[in-house]
Chain A
Amino acid sequence: MSTFIVAGLLLVLLGLAYQLGWSKSRALSTPQGVRVHSRGQYHGALVALWTLVPAVLVLGVWAFFSPGVTHWYTVSQIPADVLASLDQVGLNQQMQRIRDLASGFGVTGELRTFEEAAGQNLARFQLLSFLIMLAAAAGLGVLGLTFARRRINPRLRARNEVERAISWGLIACSAVAILTTMGIVASLVTEAFRFFTYINPLDFFFGTVWAPKFSSTGAGDAGQYGLLPLLTGTLMISAIAMLVAVPVGLMTAIYLNQYAHANLRKVVKPIIEILAGIPTIVYGFFALVTVGPFLRDFGNTIGLSISATSALTAGLVMGVMIIPFISSLSDDILNQVPRTLRDGAYGLGATQSETIRNVLLPAALPGIVGAFLLAVSRAIGETMIVVLAAGNAPILRGNPLEPVSTITVSIVNQLTGDTDFTGPQSLVAFALGLTLFIMTLCLNIVALYIVRRFREQYE
């Protein structure tokens, strides 16, 4: 209810301000034929800005402080002797009763003497503070309005001022991306640092056993947090994924780019790109219920013991997920190799495949390496497929047919449903996240640098 009043008030003020600014500007220009620097809209917009900013500031301050102030006032309405007799739960109940009385909803049971007065006082206080806030917002807004309107004269550079305001707004937008990175780094580093106060970083980075114990199972022993089993699992799955994705993705890109007829390309490319749009949870489910059992049965028929959830299952399906990533990046890169190079090879009598293998691919190599690195970074950061299909067995071993665990799986396991961040059990997620972030960051920076250099080479 009050939200609507505030929003309505703001809208009315805004419209009024714009109109007033605009009409004053018009009044200046029409009769006297004076050359006004800026057009009416800009004067209107400038006045509206001057009105809106102070009003919104007041609202923001109020929104920030009012819950605390109301809380303090409600407590102050409870007599000291009653207050002394209440514990935290009792206090909350008492305050709820007062609030219910104030809102007119009423309470069950007997009314205590102070409660009725307190309810009335609170209702009055709420109304008053709301009205004061409203008046302050409106007053400051009107003040801003009059000030801005008084400033209007033919030489006022209203357009420039409005544009400056716009560009500040745009700068604020750009800051979000930077703040995000800073937020990621800050939160990962601080929480990981807290983790390292429990666990020696050397034991984390070079430990070979991953066996976190949950705090409920016994205080004191926090368990072991060795990264290596997770790291090998991650790398094994990524390697399998790349073994699937690189040949298939690259050959697909080459065929579509160099051999396929335009019509075939038009049909096949979007179909393969569908693979890129499928959510990873779907791949995970597919791996778990279809690919895993198939591999196990297949292993049985050829006398090989393959677990249904294993590095192989997760890696295969992840490879499929990465195919469109490799193929569309490679396609872009092949397109950037100048046609004259291909012509040069054809002109010497090279066959198409010779041209591709000897000229096109070497020329595109840096770009393809960049794409490859980006794909690796994506593979090691992928979560849902491995959560469902890798088997969650954080044991250091080299057999891809057995279940493994990865960094991302352990992050999910350690942090899901637990956000108090008190012990190493949950804080380790941030140490793992930091490791993952640094790994992918290095890959990304190198890859993006290579790709950028490659583009510049042929621009």
Chain B
Amino acid sequence: MDMLAGKVKMTAQTVDAAMNAAINPAANLAQLVDRPIRLTARDVTVHYGAKQALHGISIDIPDRAVTAFIGPSGCGKSTFLRCINRMNDTIEGARVGGTILLDGENIYDPDLDVVELRARVGMVFQKPNPFPKSIYDNVAYGARIHGLARNKTDLDEIVVSSLRKAGLFEEVKDRLNEPGTGLSGGQQQRLCIARAIAVGPEVILMDEPCSALDPIATAIIEELIDELRENYTIVIVTHSMQQAARVSQRTAFFHLGNLIEQGVTEDIFTNPVNKQTQDYIMGRIG
């Protein structure tokens, strides 16, 4: 623990530099120099029953930037994403090893409250999953359970500002009491993003948020992610390399449960070091 904590106390720059030196010495450091590290994963493994899904993943994720996980389906990118807010706890038979530090705190510490963790690390899912409640109640839900609003006015404010940040307010302001399931797919997904923002998370995990959407809705969401980057640490899993290139600043490539390569997005796409990354980007695997 002490050693890890010490590592986190190092300046972000040194960690970043060290990582890049190890993996990708040619990385363009300038772009990320001012970003402190928010999340540090070391040697994370996941087993589902007897099957090992992740083999020793180590990665650092910088604050207020978008990190994309790419890789062919079944490569473990979503599994790793779900480790970051301990969603794997809800799957029977799943075991997670290794450490993940959020601001220097081990999130797998037995004393850590997973409820509190998830309030800090929000998540948006592959398929839009609004609750069978009104639009207002969907957004207000997180704030309500966590007791973030002292009164109705507070709650209204949280709902409105979250919807605004998700770029949905103008579209739904007249029908806040209608069911969230009545919205279009893209709107539903933005509703889910608003729902996640309403809790005031520090990190937002997005698990292929656009895979169920049409291109126009996808474009809107991508724009939204770019805006949210100002305020949040965002980790996005995507199967689309174009999307990763468009929205992310850093990219990690997963294959068969291993983290093959990570670095500044531009470098990964223009100048991959690893043969497998090359193959994937050229469309030869996946």
Contacts and interface: CB of A to CB of B under 8 A. Distances in A.
A354 interface: yes
Given A347-B122, A349-B142, A349-B146, A362 B115 contact: no
A348 interface: yes
B125 A347 contact: yes
Contacts of B118: 346-349
Contacts of B87: 343, 346-347
Q: Size class of A's contact patch?
A: 20 to 34
Interface stretch (B2-10, B126-134, B214-222, B250-258): B126-134
Given A343-B125, A350-B145, A362 B132 contact: yes
A343 B131 CA distance: 11
Nearest to B92: A262
A358 B196 contact: no
B146 A359 contact: no
Interface in B18-42: none
A344 interface: yes
B148 to A, nearest CB: 11
Contacts of A342: 90
Contact of A363 (B132, B141, B199): B132
Nearest to A258: B90
Interface string B143-157: 001100000000000
A341 interface: yes
B90 A340 contact: no
B133 A350 contact: no
A338 interface: yes
A92 interface: no
A349 B202 CA distance: 13
B221 to A, nearest CB: 17
A354 B114 CA distance: 14
B61 interface: no
A350 B132 contact: no
Interface string B235-258: 000000000000000000000000
A348 B145 contact: yes
A262 B93 CA distance: 10
Interface in A349-369: 349-351, 354, 358-359, 362-363
A358 B129 contact: no
Nearest to B126: A340
B116 interface: yes
Interface string B89-115: 010100000000000000000000001
B192 interface: yes
Most buried by B among A345, A347, A362, A363: A347
A207 to B, nearest CB: 46
A346 B196 contact: no
Interface string A21-44: 000000000000000000000000
Nearest to A365: B132
A418 B72 CA distance: 76
Contacts of B123: 343, 347-348
B131 A349 contact: no
A342 B91 CA distance: 11
A212 B77 CA distance: 76
B127 A340 contact: yes
Given A349-B119, A349-B145, A362-B133, A340 B199 contact: no
B277 interface: no
B142 A348 contact: yes
Nearest to A337: B132
Contact of A349 (B115, B127, B133): B115
Given A262-B92, A349-B146, A344 B131 contact: yes
Interface string B195-232: 11001000001000000000000000000000000000
Given A343-B87, A349-B118, A349-B146, A359 B196 contact: no
A358 B145 contact: yes
Contact of B125 (A340, A349, A350): A340
B90 A341 contact: no
A363 to B, nearest CB: 5
Nearest 4 CB-CB pairs, A to B? A347-B123, A349-B118, A349-B119, A340-B129
Given A343-B123, A359-B131, 15 more contacts: A340-B127, A340-B129, A341-B132, A343-B90, A344-B192, A344-B195, A345-B131, A347-B87, A347-B122, A347-B205, A348-B123, A348-B142, A349-B117, A349-B142, A354-B145
Interface of A: 261-262, 338, 340-351, 354, 358-359, 362-363
9 contacts: A338-B129, A343-B90, A344-B195, A348-B118, A351-B115, A351-B145, A354-B145, A358-B141, A362-B133
